[in-house]
Structure 1
């Protein structure tokens, strides 16, 4: 909980309050403009409170993430697992219960709360090339590049092709 009162977090708290108050004030201003006959202001009157709600959502999410980081960092016991139902440590030499997180030494890099970090596979699209046939445009471009390499002082407009 101390982590939420560092100078950086105090700035975040103040920024959240200032933004929410400003966005709600702008929403109220748009409501007063819409009531006086500006129909476009009705859309803005609903938009500004949504922005304020988004600021609160992001702030709350960051607070929860910081507190979760404190809870994960508070247990320095390497490899000791507690039984979630009783809170007691397993006896020495016992296998961890099914579904329990792996010991800290067995966790992959990026693991959070005992769950391994999930990474999406990278897919590379491959373009089909005709068997033995060379792309004419690619060959011309490669010839152009080799000519530029052979003539370092030349301008692209000097290319004879």
Structure 2
């Protein structure tokens, strides 16, 4: 439980409370407006508590993820660390990237096609032959 009382987590707890109280207050304000005759406010009166519920859901999910014990099969894993997928996103673990195999494909014969269409078809063939490559790797 000590992990939930770091400065970052205290900020998350405060943000969650402020957002939930604010959203519920806005929902109550919309109920009072709807009771005064503003019919569209009934929809907003329902939306604001849903937003508050979503904030609580995300906060609870993050708490559970933080308190989850580390998988035992990973070397050097300690209790309370995030799983591999979450640590790759935060940058605490080096991401493994597979190498991109670049295949040179000869240009299509210009036959009856115009130059732009032939170049675009060449690019599309290259993308199909190199599914792991980004468009910046295109040699043409």
TM-score band by shorter chain is 0.5 to 0.7
Per-residue CA deviation, residues 55-93 of structure 1 (Å, 9 max, x unaligned), is 00000000001001xx218x6xxxxxxxxxxxxxxxxxx
Hey, what does 2:64 align to over in structure 1? 64
Per-residue CA deviation, residues 110-144 of structure 1 (Å, 9 max, x unaligned), is 379xxxxxxxxxxxxxxxxxx744631416979xx
SS for the counterpart of 1:72 is coil
Larger fraction in helix = 2
* Runs (5+) with no aligned partner, structure 1: 76-102, 113-130, 143-161
Hey, what does 2:41 align to over in structure 1? 41
After superposition, the Cα gap between the structure-2 partners of 1:36 and 1:135, relative to the gap in structure 1 and judged at 3 Å, is same
* TM-score normalised per structure 1: 0.49
Which of these two proteins has the greater Rg computed from alpha carbons? 1
Is 1:136 the counterpart of 2:91? The answer is no
One of 69, 84, 87 as aligned partner of 1:110: 84
The 4+ residue runs of structure 1 with deviation greater than 2 A are 109-112, 131-135, 139-142
* Runs (5+) with no aligned partner, structure 2: 76-82, 87-107, 121-140
Number of aligned residue pairs: 91
Is 1:12 the counterpart of 2:12? The answer is yes
